[in-house]
Amino acid sequence: MGKLYFKYGAMGSSKTASALMCRFNYMQKGMKVLLLKPQIDTRFKANEVVSRIGLSAPCITFADSENLLDLFEEQNDNEALDIVIVDECQFCTKQQIEQLRAITDKVSVLCYGLMTNYKGELFEGSKRLVEICDSLSEIKSVCECGRKATMNAKFVKGIISVEGKEIDIGADEKYKGMCYPCFKREQQKAKVYNKILSHIKNIKACKDAGTWSTDTAAGNIVIDKPYVIYDDEVKSFVRDFREFEIKKPETIVDINATVETLAPLCVCDKNFEYMIALISLVLKEEKNKPGLLKALIETDILTNWLKRIKKIVDNLDD
């Protein structure tokens, strides 16, 4: 009688590498290993389990309609097996997990995979494994901030996404293991980004973004400090952008922030970070140069910058 093991971890926790090292250890002892993975995992070579650190091994792939108990029996009849290892087990169906459970009547089954999808919800296969496995253990990894990674974040052009179908195959180019606080912060960032985009049309319509005002005399001293009272749309944009702005934009954008220098600036080849830093610089300089934001809005310069940001994220050509 064997046991059913579920070894889970976030993206980048070396789950596949652990599975391959486990396979090597059994084979080194002269044992016969059946290595499996779902056909839906098309990131690397077919009929091969591949780890991003360079390890790989031949395997048998299976469709979501395949009976894994029958597959095991067929392989076991050809050559007596000692252990079954399943990579990317989260893609198994509920029924396939129950079939793996049945295999443990003869040998142990080690399953490696994710616990949750990019929405933070349990995969069907992972849920059933948690319910019926004999052993549940975590393969730990760290977030970029240093905390333990527990979430599997999906990014589309630099913006976190929780939209779409449950299974969306990808690797480092799309997914990142994160701690929950960073995951929630990126989600908030995405919400603010969407808010900023909603301002494009309204800001473009601001032919007069605000009115100039001057402080009145105080006692015998005349205070003459003109400033702009911005309308509600502009105030709303600034408020939404505060969650998104770069605190030290001058480290990215090396330019004297004036209308004369910003107006002819070509942004068609600038990246996402540069564009955010550019707007951040304007908001920062507005305190010392009142009316800078007003001028950029009324000449459609800010609108063009926001459109550039949208093109970058939407992956559109200029």
Which residues participate in catalysis according to the annotation? Answer: 88
CA distances from 295 to 232, 267, 268, 299 (A): 16, 18, 21, 6
Instruction: For tokens 């948690």, name the residue.
Output: 130
Query: Residues 310, 314, 317, 318: what is their CA dihedral angle, to the nearest 10 degrees?
Result: 0
CA distance 73 to 102: 11
Report the Cα 121 to chain-centroid distance in Å. 15
How buried is 177 (Cβ within 10 angstroms: 0-12 exposed, 13-18 middle, 19+ buried)?
buried
- Number of C-beta neighbours around residue 315 at 10 A: 8
Strand 4-8 to 108-113 pairing: parallel
- 131 dihedral zone (left: phi>0; alpha: psi -120 to 50; beta): alpha
Which residues, other chains included, contact 17 with Cβ-Cβ below 8 Å and sequence gap of 6+? 51, 52, 53, 55
